[in-house]
Amino acid sequence: MTQVLRTEDLRLYHNTARGQLRAVDGVSLSIARGETLGLVGESGCGKSSLAKCVVGLDAPTSGTLEVAGVTPGKSRAMRIARAQAVQMVFQDPSGALNPRLSVARIIEEPLRVHGTGTAAERRAQVAELAQKVGLSDYHLPRFPHELSGGQRQRVSIARALALNPALLVCDEAVSALDVSVQAQVLNLFISLQKELDLTYLFISHDLSVVRYVSHRIAVMYLGRIVEIGPAEEVFHRHLHPYTRALVAAIPGDEALGEEAALLEGDVPSPVNPPSGCAFRTRCPHTRERCAADVPHLRDLGNGLQVACHFAEEFIRPEDMPQAAG
């Protein structure tokens, strides 16, 4: 299966007046073509920092990063190749769209910048992209302020698709929308993926949103992946205490979080993270080993990997593998 995104021990550190800030601290993951990997975690966990590395807005401090075989580079040719390999849909469509350009010009802009086709060919492609995301010819001459929030996000999606990227990074792409509009845009992402064989890195703080669109889910805490696996495995087993707390916090879904406690306190500073397990300062199950040893991702069956020294203790009897015969 072709991997569209691959990172290996990826790190993004920033030097600040208070010390070195570890925004991304050794992330290794991959996304196959046609797959959606949901990335979830609280604000400050490093999700957006990872996204910026992937799309080329920030250069990684160290580690390996490949998008459709393209690695980071400063040359013009490398920047063009990266733009054609990966595009981003941002959280706030109002801030992401130029208010002085019409919808048609906004969607066309990537094609103009990269010298794609003639003017007539670009107009035809703009109309086709608009139709794919649920906009009509009526919307093309309009300006962003004349559209609803959901319509503006559809414009952002159409613009992101213009260069036919291998990977689409969606950073909180529905969090600024009303709940009813969120559902429409999420369904649009799903239908576009089926139609165009798209690959998504879908970032959100909302675990229920991520579950709806994702094939696999990665849970991030303080710059590290603490649990990753098939979406339903993460939801029903959630063997890392942090994931258990996130699941328990989903409104109206008591069954999923029946044994988990809600989180207390804030995410520690990435400038001065705790020793050992970064989650130990908020974990109700912390022990002496947690302060001394950094837990690494371990395979606990059915494709689920967890970075917790004591994850096996949270496996329920009904989730244990059945003996043959």
Q: How far apart are CA 312 and CA 233, in angstroms?
A: 14
Q: Which residue has the tokens 């414009």?
A: 155
pLDDT confidence band for 244 (50 / 70 / 90): very high
Encode pLDDT of 268-303 as tens digits.
899 999 999 999 999 989 999 999 999 999 999 999
Question: Does residue 116 sit in the same domain as residue 261?
Answer: no
Q: Judge whether 324 lies within some domain.
A: no
Half-sphere exposure (Cβ direction) of 110: Cα atoms closer than 13 Å: 24
pTM exceeds cut of 0.85: yes
pLDDT at 60: 94
Q: How far apart are CA 315 and CA 239, in angstroms?
A: 7
Question: Does residue 301 sit in the same domain as residue 187?
Answer: no
Question: Does residue 283 sit in the same domain as residue 300?
Answer: yes
Instruction: Mark which of 191, 214, 237 sits at the end of a domain.
Output: 214
> Could you list the residue range(s) of the whole structural domain that residue 72 is in?
3-214
Q: How far apart are CA 280 and CA 224, in angstroms?
A: 14
Q: Which two tokens stand for residue 25?
A: 């601290």
Q: Judge whether 325 lies within some domain.
A: no
Q: How far apart are CA 117 and CA 104, in angstroms?
A: 15
State the total domains in the chain: 2
pLDDT at 255: 47
pLDDT at 86: 94
pLDDT confidence band for 324 (50 / 70 / 90): very low
pLDDT at 83: 79
Residue 233: CB partners within 8 Å, gap ≥ 6?
A: 302, 303, 304
Instruction: Mark which of 214, 232, 247 sits at the end of a domain.
Output: 214
Q: Is 294 left (phi over 0), alpha (psi -120 to 50) or beta?
A: beta
Q: Judge whether 83 lies within some domain.
A: yes
Encode pLDDT of 124-169 as tens digits.
999 999 999 999 999 999 999 999 999 999 999 999 999 999 999 9
